[in-house]
Structure 1
């Protein structure tokens, strides 16, 4: 089955927009983030949205390549198996997918300092995902 390039490109664009907004929150600084509940709640929602977007792309490509992931984390490993992203990135994204599960299912136990650190340090993994998948989809159309 063919990859729906338009779908993937729309999702990647949505992820990029979300990452810009997360960057703006990071730019406000750690102290402002920790003292402002609106920023904290927005950041958590934006993280969920970005990770969900990445999973949506991941699942679409995986299924179109005949692989049905068992979980969010497994989906990123599947992309590595088919050569869309590298294995190290897949493992980092698998950890991020597990963090998404905590945000969604155990939100009352979230360490806001950890949320800020993830935004500050690990969002680059989603940026790398967008670039790698974009290149993969481009290669598939050639």
Structure 2
């Protein structure tokens, strides 16, 4: 089946939007982040939104290529097997997917300093995902 380019492009735009807002929170600084519950809660929601968007794209492409992932983490590994993303990026995104599960299902155990570090460093993986998928879609 053919990939729905419009759907993928919409999801990629949503991820980019969430990443822009996460960047604004990071620029506010760690001290402000840790002392401001609105920023902490917004950041967690934006991370969930970005990771969910990536999973949505991942699942769409995987299924259209005849593969049904078993989990969020497995989905990114499937994209690596299909040649959409590099294997090391898929592994980092799989860790991000597991972090998403903690945000959603065990939110009361979240270390806010870890959230800040993920926003500061690991969201680059989502930017790389957006680039890789965008290039893949153009080749199709």
Q: TM-score range by the shorter chain?
A: over 0.9
Tell me how far apart the structure 1 counterparts of residues 28 and 19 of structure 2 sit (CA, whole Å). Answer: 14
Cα displacement (A) at 1:107: 0.1
TM-score by length of 2: 1.00
Q: Which residue of 2 aligns with 1:4?
A: 4
Tell me how far apart the structure 2 counterparts of residues 27 and 5 of structure 1 sit (CA, whole Å). Answer: 33
Q: Which residue of 2 aligns with 1:13?
A: 13
Tell me how far apart the structure 1 counterparts of residues 94 and 2 of structure 2 sit (CA, whole Å). Answer: 25
After the TM superposition, which segments of 4 or more aligned residues of structure 1 sit over 2 Å from their partners?
A: none
Tell me how far apart the structure 2 counterparts of residues 24 and 50 of structure 1 sit (CA, whole Å). Answer: 15
Q: CA RMSD in A?
A: 0.3
Tell me how far apart the structure 1 counterparts of residues 117 and 64 of structure 2 sit (CA, whole Å). Answer: 34
- Please state whether the residue corresponding to 2:68 is helix, strand or coil: coil
Unpaired runs of at least 5, structure 1? none
Tell me how far apart the structure 2 counterparts of residues 14 and 101 of structure 1 sit (CA, whole Å). Answer: 20
Tell me how far apart the structure 1 counterparts of residues 24 and 67 of structure 2 sit (CA, whole Å). Answer: 36
TM-score by length of 1: 0.98
Unpaired runs of at least 5, structure 2? none
- 5 Å-filtered alignment, 1:26-45, equals 26-45=26-45
- Please state whether the residue corresponding to 2:66 is helix, strand or coil: coil
Q: Which residue of 1 aligns with 2:122?
A: 122
Count of aligned residue pairs for this structure pair = 140
